Structure 1
Amino acid sequence: MNCVLVLVRTLDGSKSLKAGCQPSFHHRRRRAAVLSSGSGIHVDEQQRELAPEANRNPIKNTNMTQLDGVVKPKTKRSKRFLDSRAPKLSEDVKTAMIMKGGNSNQTVTQALKDIYALKKPNAVLYKKKNITRPFEDSTSLEFFSKKTDCSLFLFGSHNKKRPNNLIFGRLFDFHVLDMVELGIEKYVSLSDIKASKCPEGTKPMLVFAGEAFDMDNEHKRLKSLLIDFFRGPTVSAVRLAGLEHVLHFTALEGKVYMRSYRCLLKKSGCRTPRIELEEIGPSLDLVLRRTHLASDDLYKLAHRRPKALKIRKKKNVSHDAFGTKFGRVHMQKQDLTKLQTRKMKGLRKRRGAVVSDDQEGGAAKAAKVDV
């Protein structure tokens, strides 16, 4: 072994000398002979290939094994993690990831924060910039959606060609399904409107006004996308006091106006309260720009429901327009000759009464007389 001095450069840029030992000629030749064999090279390449993946996701290599594209868990913790990501009959609440691009201004950043405040707690906000263009390459969005298990996204950016830009989108099977690009023309934030706000996690009531939401194909998809984005969790019932947040979308002359209101229940002198709307923000005037819509076949596939969730039709049961339930009962043919009727005492025949038949001209019959 030979001792040598090595010049080492640290992360802060400083230099230092360290003493080290260099293998002799015989050690180097023995090490070269080992590496020249097939097994030595295979082990080193395998370690180099696994090192970056282990740094990205250490749990995957320590607790899971991947054979033929199927990830098999090794521990109960990893099994629970895979079960939570597996398809279910009743899926979890849709979560949205909110991020900004490489170039963004104060308007876009504040708009993303306000929409995140409306979407909480079913949202993930990325504070760092992400240099990506969803309409040109959506691989980064698909990677982040798979990492955070999000099926909705909102991307904000700003440039000279498309200023104050927002992209609403949704994914199916971790692939982009629909994307709609909207430009902000006028914006009023939550903090600019001085009014009491709704509590976090309030389920909003969505109102859509305008013929474009029912006539134009792009506006139809935009309506469906906004419903998916803001609908919140699915619940069986909501108390009256919980209906206090309204999101109103109006389509008029190629623009979409988004307004947020709070319902105030006032006394009306009767059982039904009087409702007043108070604007709480945010308020956005949006203009429709680019769109990326899924094909009809893919859109139909994304709406397919499992057979276990389909309601089976009950035979011989029908409902009318008012919701009244009618049932049809099938019975066998009855023999009316064997029908047991009630015998009334007043209808019994009496002996001694005379029955005449003048119409037929017959002789009078002697009636029976009770003895």
Structure 2
Amino acid sequence: MFVLGSHSKKRPHNIVIGRMFDFQLYDALELGVEEYKAIRDFGAAGTGAQLGNKPCVIFVGQKFESVPALALAKSLLLDMFRGEPVDKINLAGIDRVLMAVAVDDDRLQLRQYSVRFKKSGTRIPRVALTEMGPRIAFSVRRFRLPPTDLQKEALKQPRLGKKKEKNVGSDTLDGKVGRIYMPKQNMDTLGLSKYKGTKRERRESKREAAEAKKRPKTAAAAAEAAGGGSDAE
């Protein structure tokens, strides 16, 4: 982001606020200073503000949503004054209020107030605002919106975090822990590795089964076979 101040006969008291992306001009807004009153002109009103505290930024007027130049001004002013993004903020750290007022389509006023927390008889303090400056009245001049392709590229968000793995968790002792679901298995038909000893036992059992088939199945069959032999003699 950049802010450039210039002064010429054609554009007196000129301020250009813009942003860069990937070494290219992303957008820019040209404002003319019509009225200015410095902080020192407000006396000791601004002595309570501390460097590094985040201001409360307020935009007054629907034109900040409908007029393209003022919508751009809102985006630029937020980027300029909000500071570093934070998740939480202490109420005591809000010591000033920055207010932007859209007077009409091409005029903008900027005011800044110091915040004082006073006793109210309850747990919630009473808030008192005192103008601390600077007080600026701008006239909106030229502006440039970001190109569509460049805006699309600048608004890309990286994917943060790892992709969630199904049935995988973590343990403080074992580290990565997985869960496996197995179907019911029949141990009788389960194919296992065969050892030489089991192969020898199978060969012997097959040989015994073959010999048993050759033998008579019943005692009657054996006697009949024996009787038939004596008649033949």
TM over 0.5: yes
Structure 1 counterpart of 2:129: 277
Q: Which residue of 1 aligns with 2:188?
A: none
CA distance in 2, matches of 1:310, 1:249: 42
1:90-149, CA deviations, whole angstroms, 9 ceiling, x for partnerless residues?
xxxxxxxxxxxxxxxxxxxxxxxxxxxxxxxxxxxxxxxxxxxxxxxxxxxxxxxxxxxx
Greater RCO (Cα-Cα under 8 Å, separation 6 or more): 2
- C-alpha distance in 2, partners of 1:243/1:310? 36
Instruction: Choose which of 93, 100, 111 in structure 2 pairs with 1:242.
Output: 93
The answer on 1:177 being equivalent to 2:26 is yes
Structure 1 match to 2:183 = none
Once residues 284 and 310 of structure 1 are traced to their aligned partners in structure 2, the CA distance between those partners, rounded to angstroms, is: 48
Cα deviation per residue 1:258-289 (whole Å; 9 max; x = unaligned)?
00111110111111111011111111000100
Instruction: For residue 192 of structure 1, give the secondary structure of its aligned residue in structure 2.
Output: helix
Deviation at 1:177, TM superposition (A): 0.5
Alignment of 1:263-342 (within 5 A): 263-308=115-160
Say if 2:39 and 2:46, in contact at 8 Å, map to a contact too: no
1:290 offset after TM fit, Å?
0.7
Shift of 1:174: 2.6
- Deviation, 1:311, is 11
Provide the C-alpha distance between the structure 2 equivalents of 1:278 and 1:305, rounded to a whole number of angstroms. Answer: 40
1:168 to 1, 17, 25: 17
Q: Does residue 222 of the first structure (1) align with residue 73 of the second (2)?
A: yes
| Kept in 1: contact 2:69–2:140 (CA 8 A) | no
Structure 1 match to 2:8: 159
Q: Which residue of 2 aligns with 1:75?
A: none
SS of the aligned residue for 2:160 comes to helix
For 1:218, what is the secondary structure of its paired residue?
A: helix
Q: Within 2, Cα distance between the matches of 1:311 and 1:291?
A: 42
8 Å contact kept, 2:50–2:95 = no
Q: Which letter does structure 2 place at the counterpart of 1:281?
A: G
Q: How many percent identity over aligned positions?
A: 40
Aligned positions of 1:1-371 closer than 5 A = 152-194=1-43, 195-197=45-47, 198-253=49-104, 254-308=106-160
Using a 3 Å threshold, how does the CA distance of structure 1 residues 311 and 258 change in structure 2: closer, same or farther? farther
- Structure 1 residue 171: Cα displacement: 0.9
SS in 1 for 2:149: helix
Contact map agreement 2:96 2:112 (CA 8 A) in 1? yes
Q: Is the 8 A contact 2:58 2:98 kept in 1?
A: yes
SS at match of 1:307: coil
Deviation by residue 1:12-51 (Cα, 9 ceiling, x = unmatched): xxxxxxxxxxxxxxxxxxxxxxxxxxxxxxxxxxxxxxxx
Misfit runs of 4+, over 2 Å: 309-312
User: 1:232 Cα deviation (Å)?
Assistant: 0.3
What are the Cα deviations for residues 324-358 of structure 1, in whole angstroms up to 9, with x where unaligned?
Answer: xxxxxxxxxxxxxxxxxxxxxxxxxxxxxxxxxxx
Q: Tell me the TM-score normalised to structure 1 length.
A: 0.42
User: Cα gap change, 1:218/1:267 in structure 2, threshold over 3 Å: closer, same or farther?
Assistant: same
Matches of 2:33 and 2:80, distance apart in 1: 18
1:215 to 1:311, Cα distance in 2 relative to 1, 3 A: farther
Q: What is the count of residue pairs matched by the alignment?
A: 161
Unaligned runs of 5+ in 1: 1-151, 313-371
Q: Which amino acid in the other structure matches residue 156 of structure 1?
A: G
Counterpart of 1:182 in 2: which secondary structure? strand
* Separation in 2, partners of 1:259, 1:223: 14
The AA in structure 2 aligned to 1:269 is G
Distance in 2 separating the partners of 1:310 and 1:240: 35
SS at match of 1:220: helix
In structure 2, the gaps of 5 or more residues are 165-233
